[in-house]
């Protein structure tokens, strides 16, 4: 079972780049790494997903080293509206087995003015 | 697309009463998930359906909880009888495909059992 470990909380200031690292030492060969964002009183929202190296979309980048035992979500130039909880998950996108979809505690990011 | 629709948004009930939460997934999605979120336990997966069939219900806490998906556009999560410890936010999510594919979450139902 691929469990993830991430910092409980992080603080940043507007305009800075924020990097949140997630540890997943037991990641399986077919597992992908997925990040979700959750605002208070809302359901989680998909941010980005990747398997290896680097993935970039309009809101974030995901860096995955060769051993895949960790990953880093990078948020460029954060604003106050990026204050949220960020979850890292690992799981097989092809499998009907959802036992690995564990959200964990997530990382609470607080962006300050 | 309206996204995942959940009802009611808020529910307050007394201990021992039956509670039914409803979910309409995004049209075309064939996987549906029910989650429960509390401060103490975080976000927990309760049950997962694929093509209307329950695939994994290992997260359902006990026999008081039951979930159904009679068709591709509707699912219910029922708690009977309800207890104060069931108080939580219940989320429904849907996705296209299986496994860890992108899930779209509904707004949630905040349940309070007194």
Query: What is the arithmetic mean of pLDDT over B16-29?
Result: 97
Alpha-carbon dihedral of residues B10, B14, B18, B20, nearest 10 degrees? 0
Whether A29 has its CB under 8 Å from any CB of chain B: the answer is no
How far CA A63 is from CA of A20, A54, A66, A78, B46, in Å, comes to 10, 5, 10, 18, 30
Q: Do B42 and A92 lie within an 8 Å CB cutoff?
A: no
What pLDDT sits at residue A98? 56
Confirm if A6 and A103 have CB atoms less than 8 A apart. no
Residue B53 CB coordination number (10 Å):
9
Alpha-carbon dihedral of residues A45, A51, A54, A56, nearest 10 degrees? -30
pLDDT digits (tens, 9 = 90+) for A85-110: 999 998 887 766 654 467 878 999 99
> Is residue B82 classed as helix, strand or coil in its secondary structure?
coil
Select from B43, B58, B101 the Cβ nearest to the Cβ of A93. B101
Q: Do B100 and A45 lie within an 8 Å CB cutoff?
A: no
């Amino acid at each position: 079972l691929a469990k993830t470990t991430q910092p409980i909380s992080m603080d940043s200031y507007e305009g800075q780049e924020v990097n949140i690292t997630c540890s997943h030492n037991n990641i399986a060969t077919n597992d992908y790494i997925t990040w979700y964002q959750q605002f208070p009183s809302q359901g989680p929202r998909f941010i980005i997903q990747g398997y290896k190296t680097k993935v970039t979309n309009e809101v974030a980048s995901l860096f995955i080293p060769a051993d895949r035992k960790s990953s880093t979500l990078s948020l460029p130039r954060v604003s106050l509206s990026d204050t949220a909880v960020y979850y890292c998950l690992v799981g097989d996108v092809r499998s009907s087995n959802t036992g690995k979809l564990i959200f964990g505690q997530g990382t609470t990011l607080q962006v300050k003015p | 697309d309206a996204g995942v629709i959940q009802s009611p948004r808020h529910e307050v009930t007394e201990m021992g009463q039956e509670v039914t939460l409803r979910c309409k997934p995004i049209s075309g999605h064939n996987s549906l998930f029910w989650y429960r979120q509390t401060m103490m336990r975080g976000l927990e997966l309760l049950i997962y359906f694929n093509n209307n069939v329950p695939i994994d219900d290992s997260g359902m806490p006990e026999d008081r909880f039951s979930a159904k998906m009679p068709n591709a556009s509707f699912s219910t999560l029922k708690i009977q009888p309800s207890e104060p410890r069931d108080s939580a936010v219940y989320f429904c999510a849907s996705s296209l495909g299986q496994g860890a594919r992108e899930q779209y979450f509904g707004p949630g139902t905040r349940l309070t059992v007194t």
